[in-house]
A and B are shown apart, each in its own frame.
Chain A
Amino acid sequence: MTVLFAYKLGGLCLFFMGFTALILRSHPLKKIMAVNVMAAGVFLLFIAMACHGRVGVAIDPVPQAMVLTGIVVSVSVTALALVLACRIQETSGGAGSSEGEHPPQGDS
Protein backbone atom coordinates (compact mmCIF):
# COMPACT_ATOMS: atom_id res chain seq x y z
CA MET A 1 0.00 0.00 0.00
CA THR A 2 2.75 2.43 0.89
CA VAL A 3 4.54 1.82 -2.38
CA LEU A 4 1.38 2.58 -4.28
CA PHE A 5 0.84 5.68 -2.21
CA ALA A 6 4.35 6.82 -3.05
CA TYR A 7 3.59 6.41 -6.73
CA LYS A 8 0.35 8.35 -6.36
CA LEU A 9 2.14 11.11 -4.51
CA GLY A 10 4.71 11.16 -7.30
CA GLY A 11 1.91 11.47 -9.82
CA LEU A 12 0.41 14.42 -7.98
CA CYS A 13 3.83 16.08 -7.74
CA LEU A 14 4.34 15.63 -11.48
CA PHE A 15 0.94 17.15 -12.15
CA PHE A 16 1.68 20.23 -10.08
CA MET A 17 5.21 20.60 -11.38
CA GLY A 18 3.87 20.54 -14.90
CA PHE A 19 1.18 23.02 -14.00
CA THR A 20 3.68 25.45 -12.51
CA ALA A 21 5.91 25.18 -15.54
CA LEU A 22 2.96 25.61 -17.89
CA ILE A 23 2.18 28.94 -16.24
CA LEU A 24 5.69 30.21 -15.59
CA ARG A 25 7.59 29.09 -18.70
CA SER A 26 7.12 31.22 -21.75
CA HIS A 27 8.64 29.16 -24.52
CA PRO A 28 5.97 27.21 -26.43
CA LEU A 29 8.00 23.99 -26.50
CA LYS A 30 8.43 24.23 -22.76
CA LYS A 31 4.71 24.71 -22.33
CA ILE A 32 3.98 21.65 -24.43
CA MET A 33 6.46 19.62 -22.42
CA ALA A 34 4.87 20.85 -19.23
CA VAL A 35 1.49 19.62 -20.41
CA ASN A 36 3.04 16.25 -21.19
CA VAL A 37 4.51 16.01 -17.72
CA MET A 38 1.12 16.87 -16.24
CA ALA A 39 -0.49 14.15 -18.30
CA ALA A 40 2.15 11.66 -17.17
CA GLY A 41 1.32 12.54 -13.57
CA VAL A 42 -2.37 11.83 -14.09
CA PHE A 43 -1.60 8.56 -15.85
CA LEU A 44 0.62 7.51 -12.96
CA LEU A 45 -2.27 8.09 -10.57
CA PHE A 46 -4.60 5.99 -12.69
CA ILE A 47 -2.19 3.09 -13.07
CA ALA A 48 -1.32 3.10 -9.39
CA MET A 49 -5.03 2.96 -8.69
CA ALA A 50 -5.46 0.03 -11.07
CA CYS A 51 -3.16 -2.29 -9.17
CA HIS A 52 -4.78 -2.42 -5.80
CA GLY A 53 -1.96 -3.97 -3.92
CA ARG A 54 -4.33 -6.38 -2.28
CA VAL A 55 -3.92 -10.11 -2.57
CA GLY A 56 -6.66 -11.82 -4.48
CA VAL A 57 -8.08 -8.71 -6.09
CA ALA A 58 -7.55 -8.72 -9.82
CA ILE A 59 -5.82 -5.77 -11.42
CA ASP A 60 -8.43 -3.47 -12.80
CA PRO A 61 -7.93 -3.24 -16.57
CA VAL A 62 -10.33 -0.34 -17.02
CA PRO A 63 -7.96 2.42 -15.79
CA GLN A 64 -5.20 0.85 -17.87
CA ALA A 65 -7.39 1.10 -20.94
CA MET A 66 -8.24 4.68 -20.02
CA VAL A 67 -4.55 5.52 -19.73
CA LEU A 68 -3.86 3.96 -23.13
CA THR A 69 -6.57 6.15 -24.57
CA GLY A 70 -5.09 9.13 -22.76
CA ILE A 71 -1.58 8.47 -24.05
CA VAL A 72 -2.74 8.30 -27.63
CA VAL A 73 -4.78 11.46 -27.23
CA SER A 74 -1.87 13.30 -25.66
CA VAL A 75 0.51 12.24 -28.44
CA SER A 76 -1.83 13.53 -31.10
CA VAL A 77 -2.46 16.78 -29.28
CA THR A 78 1.28 17.21 -28.74
CA ALA A 79 1.92 16.76 -32.43
CA LEU A 80 -0.69 19.35 -33.29
CA ALA A 81 0.65 21.81 -30.72
CA LEU A 82 4.20 21.42 -32.00
CA VAL A 83 3.20 22.06 -35.60
CA LEU A 84 1.19 25.06 -34.47
CA ALA A 85 4.16 26.46 -32.55
CA CYS A 86 6.40 26.00 -35.59
CA ARG A 87 3.88 27.69 -37.83
CA ILE A 88 3.61 30.69 -35.53
CA GLN A 89 7.36 31.01 -35.57
CA GLU A 90 7.52 30.68 -39.34
CA THR A 91 4.74 33.09 -40.22
CA SER A 92 5.30 35.75 -37.63
CA GLY A 93 9.03 35.34 -37.20
CA GLY A 94 10.98 36.83 -34.40
CA ALA A 95 10.92 40.54 -33.75
CA GLY A 96 12.93 42.48 -36.30
CA SER A 97 13.25 39.64 -38.76
CA SER A 98 13.26 40.11 -42.51
CA GLU A 99 9.70 40.29 -43.76
CA GLY A 100 10.37 40.08 -47.46
CA GLU A 101 10.56 36.34 -47.84
CA HIS A 102 6.99 35.73 -46.72
CA PRO A 103 4.05 36.09 -49.04
CA PRO A 104 1.77 38.84 -47.81
CA GLN A 105 -1.01 37.48 -45.66
CA GLY A 106 -4.48 38.13 -46.95
CA ASP A 107 -7.58 39.00 -45.01
CA SER A 108 -9.10 36.75 -42.42
Chain B
Amino acid sequence: MNSLSLTLFDCVVLVTLLGLAWQLLATPDLFKAMVLFMSFGLVMALAWVRLAAPDVALAEAALGAGLTGPLFLSALHRLRGTRKGERRQQLDSIEHRGKIEKVTQRTSGRIIYLLLRILFAGLLLTLLVHLATILLHVEYENPGLGVFVAEQQEESGVISPVTAVLLNFRGYDTLLEIMVLFVAVVAVWSLATVRFSEKSGQVSPIQQGVVRILAPLMILVAVSLIWQGTHLAGGAFQGGAVLAAAGVLMMVSELPWLRLIPSLPVRLMLVFGPLVFLGLGVSCLADGRFLEYPGELAGFLILLIELACGLSIGLTLACLFVGGRPVDDLVDRGQLEEGS
Protein backbone atom coordinates (compact mmCIF):
# COMPACT_ATOMS: atom_id res chain seq x y z
CA MET B 1 0.00 0.00 0.00
CA ASN B 2 1.48 3.33 -1.00
CA SER B 3 0.80 4.57 2.43
CA LEU B 4 1.68 8.24 2.47
CA SER B 5 0.37 9.46 -0.85
CA LEU B 6 -3.28 9.25 0.04
CA THR B 7 -3.17 10.37 3.62
CA LEU B 8 -5.40 13.35 2.98
CA PHE B 9 -8.07 11.09 1.58
CA ASP B 10 -7.76 8.82 4.60
CA CYS B 11 -8.07 11.74 6.93
CA VAL B 12 -11.22 12.92 5.20
CA VAL B 13 -12.73 9.45 5.36
CA LEU B 14 -11.85 9.03 9.02
CA VAL B 15 -13.03 12.43 10.10
CA THR B 16 -16.27 11.96 8.19
CA LEU B 17 -16.77 8.56 9.77
CA LEU B 18 -16.23 9.79 13.30
CA GLY B 19 -18.26 12.94 12.73
CA LEU B 20 -21.16 10.99 11.26
CA ALA B 21 -21.06 8.50 14.10
CA TRP B 22 -21.01 11.29 16.68
CA GLN B 23 -23.88 13.06 15.00
CA LEU B 24 -26.03 10.00 14.57
CA LEU B 25 -25.57 8.97 18.16
CA ALA B 26 -26.05 12.45 19.56
CA THR B 27 -28.99 13.79 17.60
CA PRO B 28 -32.38 13.46 19.29
CA ASP B 29 -34.13 13.34 15.92
CA LEU B 30 -34.56 9.70 15.02
CA PHE B 31 -35.15 10.22 11.33
CA LYS B 32 -32.01 12.30 11.02
CA ALA B 33 -30.09 9.63 12.87
CA MET B 34 -31.42 7.06 10.42
CA VAL B 35 -30.24 9.03 7.38
CA LEU B 36 -26.87 9.64 9.00
CA PHE B 37 -26.62 5.93 9.73
CA MET B 38 -27.06 5.06 6.08
CA SER B 39 -24.43 7.55 5.01
CA PHE B 40 -22.20 6.16 7.74
CA GLY B 41 -22.48 2.77 6.07
CA LEU B 42 -21.54 4.21 2.69
CA VAL B 43 -18.48 6.02 4.03
CA MET B 44 -17.57 2.79 5.78
CA ALA B 45 -17.64 1.07 2.39
CA LEU B 46 -15.19 3.70 1.13
CA ALA B 47 -12.91 2.91 4.02
CA TRP B 48 -13.04 -0.79 3.17
CA VAL B 49 -12.05 -0.07 -0.41
CA ARG B 50 -9.19 2.03 0.83
CA LEU B 51 -8.07 -0.77 3.13
CA ALA B 52 -7.93 -3.24 0.25
CA ALA B 53 -10.99 -5.21 1.23
CA PRO B 54 -13.29 -5.13 -1.81
CA ASP B 55 -15.32 -8.11 -0.60
CA VAL B 56 -16.11 -6.37 2.64
CA ALA B 57 -16.84 -3.11 0.80
CA LEU B 58 -19.37 -4.85 -1.41
CA ALA B 59 -20.97 -6.54 1.57
CA GLU B 60 -21.07 -3.29 3.51
CA ALA B 61 -22.59 -1.36 0.64
CA ALA B 62 -25.19 -4.03 0.00
CA LEU B 63 -25.90 -5.19 3.53
CA GLY B 64 -24.74 -2.49 5.87
CA ALA B 65 -25.98 0.53 3.99
CA GLY B 66 -28.41 -0.94 1.50
CA LEU B 67 -30.38 -3.24 3.74
CA THR B 68 -29.88 -2.09 7.31
CA GLY B 69 -31.04 1.39 6.35
CA PRO B 70 -34.41 0.25 5.03
CA LEU B 71 -34.70 -2.04 8.05
CA PHE B 72 -34.33 0.93 10.38
CA LEU B 73 -36.63 3.07 8.29
CA SER B 74 -39.43 0.54 8.28
CA ALA B 75 -38.97 -0.01 12.01
CA LEU B 76 -39.22 3.72 12.60
CA HIS B 77 -42.30 3.84 10.44
CA ARG B 78 -43.89 1.07 12.48
CA LEU B 79 -42.90 2.63 15.78
CA ARG B 80 -44.41 5.94 14.80
CA GLY B 81 -47.47 4.35 13.30
CA THR B 82 -48.49 2.58 16.46
CA ARG B 83 -49.00 5.51 18.78
CA LYS B 84 -49.88 9.09 18.33
CA GLY B 85 -47.34 10.50 20.73
CA GLU B 86 -44.03 10.33 18.94
CA ARG B 87 -42.43 11.93 21.91
CA ARG B 88 -43.36 9.09 24.19
CA GLN B 89 -41.45 6.39 22.45
CA GLN B 90 -39.12 5.98 25.36
CA LEU B 91 -40.32 2.50 26.21
CA ASP B 92 -38.86 1.60 29.50
CA SER B 93 -37.00 4.74 30.23
CA ILE B 94 -39.86 6.97 31.25
CA GLU B 95 -39.76 5.74 34.78
CA HIS B 96 -36.00 5.84 34.84
CA ARG B 97 -35.97 9.34 33.44
CA GLY B 98 -38.41 10.42 36.07
CA LYS B 99 -36.16 9.11 38.77
CA ILE B 100 -33.17 10.91 37.35
CA GLU B 101 -35.11 14.13 37.04
CA LYS B 102 -36.28 13.79 40.62
CA VAL B 103 -32.72 13.28 41.73
CA THR B 104 -31.36 16.12 39.69
CA GLN B 105 -33.84 18.59 41.07
CA ARG B 106 -31.79 18.84 44.21
CA THR B 107 -28.42 20.46 43.86
CA SER B 108 -26.59 17.72 45.70
CA GLY B 109 -28.21 15.18 43.43
CA ARG B 110 -27.24 17.18 40.41
CA ILE B 111 -23.63 17.29 41.50
CA ILE B 112 -23.52 13.57 42.15
CA TYR B 113 -25.09 12.87 38.78
CA LEU B 114 -22.52 15.09 37.09
CA LEU B 115 -19.70 13.44 38.99
CA LEU B 116 -20.94 10.02 37.94
CA ARG B 117 -20.95 11.11 34.33
CA ILE B 118 -17.45 12.52 34.60
CA LEU B 119 -16.30 9.33 36.25
CA PHE B 120 -17.82 7.25 33.49
CA ALA B 121 -16.30 9.39 30.77
CA GLY B 122 -12.93 9.34 32.49
CA LEU B 123 -13.03 5.58 32.79
CA LEU B 124 -13.84 5.13 29.13
CA LEU B 125 -11.17 7.61 28.07
CA THR B 126 -8.56 5.83 30.14
CA LEU B 127 -9.54 2.54 28.58
CA LEU B 128 -9.42 4.03 25.10
CA VAL B 129 -6.01 5.56 25.66
CA HIS B 130 -4.73 2.33 27.16
CA LEU B 131 -5.88 0.22 24.23
CA ALA B 132 -4.55 2.77 21.77
CA THR B 133 -1.13 2.76 23.40
CA ILE B 134 -1.11 -1.00 23.14
CA LEU B 135 -1.84 -0.66 19.45
CA LEU B 136 0.89 1.93 19.10
CA HIS B 137 3.58 0.39 21.24
CA VAL B 138 3.49 -3.20 20.21
CA GLU B 139 5.22 -2.62 16.93
CA TYR B 140 5.36 -6.21 15.90
CA GLU B 141 2.25 -7.38 14.20
CA ASN B 142 2.02 -10.96 13.26
CA PRO B 143 1.70 -11.60 9.54
CA GLY B 144 -1.31 -13.75 10.39
CA LEU B 145 -2.56 -16.62 8.33
CA GLY B 146 -2.11 -14.98 4.93
CA VAL B 147 0.94 -17.07 4.21
CA PHE B 148 -0.87 -20.32 4.92
CA VAL B 149 -3.81 -19.27 2.79
CA ALA B 150 -1.49 -18.46 -0.10
CA GLU B 151 0.24 -21.82 0.27
CA GLN B 152 -2.94 -23.86 0.20
CA GLN B 153 -4.80 -21.68 -2.30
CA GLU B 154 -4.32 -24.20 -5.10
CA GLU B 155 -6.04 -26.96 -3.21
CA SER B 156 -9.07 -24.89 -2.26
CA GLY B 157 -10.60 -24.98 -5.74
CA VAL B 158 -11.22 -21.23 -5.98
CA ILE B 159 -9.04 -18.29 -6.92
CA SER B 160 -10.33 -15.61 -4.59
CA PRO B 161 -8.55 -16.00 -1.24
CA VAL B 162 -11.45 -14.61 0.78
CA THR B 163 -13.86 -17.09 -0.77
CA ALA B 164 -11.34 -19.84 -0.15
CA VAL B 165 -11.28 -18.94 3.54
CA LEU B 166 -15.02 -18.46 3.79
CA LEU B 167 -16.14 -21.60 2.04
CA ASN B 168 -13.28 -23.99 2.28
CA PHE B 169 -10.70 -23.41 5.01
CA ARG B 170 -13.22 -22.04 7.48
CA GLY B 171 -16.40 -23.27 5.85
CA TYR B 172 -17.69 -24.46 9.21
CA ASP B 173 -17.90 -20.86 10.45
CA THR B 174 -19.85 -19.90 7.37
CA LEU B 175 -22.21 -22.83 7.82
CA LEU B 176 -23.00 -21.68 11.35
CA GLU B 177 -23.33 -18.10 10.20
CA ILE B 178 -25.93 -19.05 7.62
CA MET B 179 -27.73 -20.79 10.43
CA VAL B 180 -27.67 -17.52 12.38
CA LEU B 181 -29.47 -15.87 9.47
CA PHE B 182 -31.97 -18.69 9.38
CA VAL B 183 -32.60 -18.47 13.13
CA ALA B 184 -33.14 -14.73 12.76
CA VAL B 185 -35.97 -15.36 10.31
CA VAL B 186 -37.53 -18.00 12.52
CA ALA B 187 -37.27 -15.60 15.45
CA VAL B 188 -38.80 -12.72 13.53
CA TRP B 189 -41.64 -14.91 12.34
CA SER B 190 -42.27 -16.13 15.85
CA LEU B 191 -42.45 -12.58 17.14
CA ALA B 192 -44.67 -10.66 14.82
CA THR B 193 -47.19 -10.97 12.04
CA VAL B 194 -47.59 -8.62 9.13
CA ARG B 195 -50.69 -8.28 7.07
CA PHE B 196 -49.44 -8.62 3.57
CA SER B 197 -52.54 -8.46 1.45
CA GLU B 198 -53.27 -4.91 2.47
CA LYS B 199 -52.30 -2.59 -0.33
CA SER B 200 -52.17 1.12 -0.03
CA GLY B 201 -52.73 1.54 -3.74
CA GLN B 202 -50.89 4.79 -3.59
CA VAL B 203 -47.67 3.73 -5.19
CA SER B 204 -46.61 6.03 -7.94
CA PRO B 205 -46.76 4.41 -11.40
CA ILE B 206 -43.34 5.84 -12.12
CA GLN B 207 -41.90 3.95 -9.19
CA GLN B 208 -43.50 0.72 -10.36
CA GLY B 209 -42.23 1.28 -13.85
CA VAL B 210 -38.70 1.93 -12.70
CA VAL B 211 -38.75 -1.10 -10.46
CA ARG B 212 -39.93 -3.22 -13.37
CA ILE B 213 -36.79 -2.17 -15.22
CA LEU B 214 -34.42 -2.32 -12.28
CA ALA B 215 -35.50 -5.57 -10.64
CA PRO B 216 -34.46 -7.92 -13.45
CA LEU B 217 -31.19 -6.05 -13.76
CA MET B 218 -30.55 -6.39 -10.06
CA ILE B 219 -31.25 -10.09 -10.19
CA LEU B 220 -28.76 -10.36 -13.02
CA VAL B 221 -26.19 -8.45 -11.01
CA ALA B 222 -26.85 -10.65 -8.00
CA VAL B 223 -26.25 -13.84 -9.94
CA SER B 224 -23.10 -12.45 -11.48
CA LEU B 225 -21.87 -11.38 -8.03
CA ILE B 226 -22.41 -14.87 -6.72
CA TRP B 227 -20.69 -16.39 -9.70
CA GLN B 228 -17.71 -14.05 -9.67
CA GLY B 229 -17.19 -14.77 -5.98
CA THR B 230 -15.01 -17.72 -6.94
CA HIS B 231 -12.37 -15.56 -8.59
CA LEU B 232 -13.02 -11.90 -7.71
CA ALA B 233 -14.69 -9.93 -4.98
CA GLY B 234 -18.23 -11.06 -4.36
CA GLY B 235 -19.99 -14.16 -3.26
CA ALA B 236 -23.12 -15.55 -1.73
CA PHE B 237 -23.62 -12.83 0.85
CA GLN B 238 -23.13 -9.91 -1.48
CA GLY B 239 -25.22 -11.50 -4.21
CA GLY B 240 -27.88 -12.48 -1.73
CA ALA B 241 -28.02 -8.94 -0.42
CA VAL B 242 -28.56 -7.52 -3.91
CA LEU B 243 -31.23 -10.14 -4.49
CA ALA B 244 -32.89 -9.10 -1.27
CA ALA B 245 -32.70 -5.46 -2.28
CA ALA B 246 -34.51 -6.32 -5.50
CA GLY B 247 -37.14 -8.11 -3.44
CA VAL B 248 -37.49 -5.15 -1.10
CA LEU B 249 -37.92 -2.79 -4.03
CA MET B 250 -40.62 -4.98 -5.48
CA MET B 251 -42.39 -5.25 -2.14
CA VAL B 252 -42.27 -1.53 -1.55
CA SER B 253 -43.65 -0.92 -5.01
CA GLU B 254 -46.47 -3.40 -4.36
CA LEU B 255 -46.06 -5.27 -7.59
CA PRO B 256 -49.19 -7.34 -7.96
CA TRP B 257 -47.71 -10.80 -8.24
CA LEU B 258 -45.45 -10.61 -5.24
CA ARG B 259 -46.66 -12.43 -2.16
CA LEU B 260 -44.45 -13.76 0.57
CA ILE B 261 -46.91 -15.98 2.34
CA PRO B 262 -45.04 -18.51 4.48
CA SER B 263 -46.36 -21.46 2.60
CA LEU B 264 -44.31 -24.52 1.85
CA PRO B 265 -42.46 -23.09 -1.19
CA VAL B 266 -41.20 -20.09 0.73
CA ARG B 267 -40.10 -22.16 3.67
CA LEU B 268 -38.49 -24.61 1.29
CA MET B 269 -36.50 -21.78 -0.28
CA LEU B 270 -35.43 -20.49 3.12
CA VAL B 271 -34.17 -23.89 4.16
CA PHE B 272 -32.74 -24.81 0.76
CA GLY B 273 -29.34 -23.11 1.02
CA PRO B 274 -28.48 -24.18 4.56
CA LEU B 275 -29.68 -27.69 3.83
CA VAL B 276 -27.59 -27.98 0.65
CA PHE B 277 -24.52 -26.72 2.52
CA LEU B 278 -25.10 -29.11 5.39
CA GLY B 279 -25.93 -32.00 3.10
CA LEU B 280 -22.83 -31.56 0.95
CA GLY B 281 -20.75 -31.29 4.11
CA VAL B 282 -22.16 -34.54 5.40
CA SER B 283 -21.78 -36.28 2.07
CA CYS B 284 -18.08 -35.49 2.26
CA LEU B 285 -17.99 -37.89 5.19
CA ALA B 286 -18.22 -40.73 2.67
CA ASP B 287 -14.51 -40.60 2.01
CA GLY B 288 -13.04 -37.89 4.15
CA ARG B 289 -13.89 -35.46 6.85
CA PHE B 290 -16.84 -33.17 7.30
CA LEU B 291 -16.75 -30.42 4.64
CA GLU B 292 -13.65 -31.94 3.03
CA TYR B 293 -14.48 -31.49 -0.62
CA PRO B 294 -12.83 -34.03 -2.86
CA GLY B 295 -9.96 -32.30 -4.67
CA GLU B 296 -11.13 -32.02 -8.25
CA LEU B 297 -14.74 -31.27 -7.31
CA ALA B 298 -13.97 -28.53 -4.79
CA GLY B 299 -14.50 -25.59 -7.13
CA PHE B 300 -17.74 -26.96 -8.48
CA LEU B 301 -19.10 -27.79 -5.04
CA ILE B 302 -18.23 -24.33 -3.72
CA LEU B 303 -20.04 -22.72 -6.64
CA LEU B 304 -23.03 -24.95 -5.99
CA ILE B 305 -23.08 -24.01 -2.31
CA GLU B 306 -22.72 -20.33 -3.11
CA LEU B 307 -25.61 -20.42 -5.55
CA ALA B 308 -27.91 -22.28 -3.20
CA CYS B 309 -26.98 -20.14 -0.22
CA GLY B 310 -27.16 -16.93 -2.23
CA LEU B 311 -30.75 -17.65 -3.18
CA SER B 312 -31.69 -18.52 0.38
CA ILE B 313 -29.85 -15.54 1.81
CA GLY B 314 -31.69 -13.23 -0.57
CA LEU B 315 -35.04 -14.57 0.52
CA THR B 316 -33.96 -14.56 4.18
CA LEU B 317 -32.97 -10.92 4.10
CA ALA B 318 -36.17 -9.99 2.31
CA CYS B 319 -38.13 -11.81 5.02
CA LEU B 320 -36.19 -9.91 7.67
CA PHE B 321 -37.18 -6.69 5.95
CA VAL B 322 -40.84 -7.67 6.03
CA GLY B 323 -40.36 -7.80 9.78
CA GLY B 324 -42.81 -10.49 10.68
CA ARG B 325 -44.64 -13.55 9.51
CA PRO B 326 -46.68 -12.37 6.54
CA VAL B 327 -50.30 -13.30 6.96
CA ASP B 328 -52.79 -13.43 4.16
CA ASP B 329 -56.12 -12.29 5.45
CA LEU B 330 -57.99 -14.71 3.28
CA VAL B 331 -55.97 -17.76 4.21
CA ASP B 332 -55.57 -17.62 7.94
CA ARG B 333 -57.68 -14.89 9.31
CA GLY B 334 -58.71 -17.16 12.14
CA GLN B 335 -55.12 -17.67 13.23
CA LEU B 336 -54.39 -13.99 13.29
CA GLU B 337 -57.32 -13.22 15.50
CA GLU B 338 -56.36 -15.88 17.92
CA GLY B 339 -52.71 -15.00 17.90
CA SER B 340 -51.35 -11.77 19.15
In the complex they form, do A and B come into direct contact, defined as C-beta atoms under 8 angstroms apart? yes
Q: Which residues of A contact B (CB under 8 A)?
A: 1-10, 12-14, 16-21, 23, 25-30, 32-34, 36-37, 40, 43-44, 47-53, 57-69, 71-73, 75-80, 82-95, 97, 103, 105
Mark contacts of B314-340 with chain A using CB atoms, 8 A cut-off: 1 yes-contact digit, 0 otherwise.
000100110110000000000001001
For residue B263, CB closer than 8 A to chain A, the reply is no
A9 contacts B68, C-beta separation under 8 Å: no
A69 to B179, CA, bound (A): 12
A64 to B162, CA, bound (A): 7
A21 to B96, CA, bound (A): 16
Interface residues on chain B, size class:
35 or more
Majority secondary structure of chain B interface residues (helix, strand, loop or mixed): helix
Q: A5-B136, A43-B56, A68-B56 are in contact. Are A77 and B184 (CB under 8 A)?
A: yes
Q: Which of B77-85, B107-115, B198-206, B218-226 lies at the interface with chain A?
A: B77-85
Majority secondary structure of chain A interface residues (helix, strand, loop or mixed): helix
A selection of 18 A-B contacts at a CB cut-off of 8 Å is A1-B3, A3-B4, A17-B25, A20-B120, A21-B25, A29-B30, A33-B72, A48-B51, A51-B53, A60-B144, A60-B145, A68-B56, A75-B64, A83-B187, A86-B75, A93-B83, A95-B94, A105-B340
A12 contacts B128, C-beta separation under 8 Å: yes
A73 contacts B3, C-beta separation under 8 Å: no
What residue of chain B has the Cβ atom nearest to residue A25's Cβ?
B25
Q: A12-B132, A83-B191, A92-B91 are in contact. Are A72 and B143 (CB under 8 A)?
A: no
For residue B59, CB closer than 8 A to chain A, the reply is yes
Q: Which residues of B contact A21 (CB under 8 A)?
A: 25-26
A53 to B340, CA, bound (A): 55
What residue of chain A has the Cβ atom nearest to residue B131's Cβ?
A12
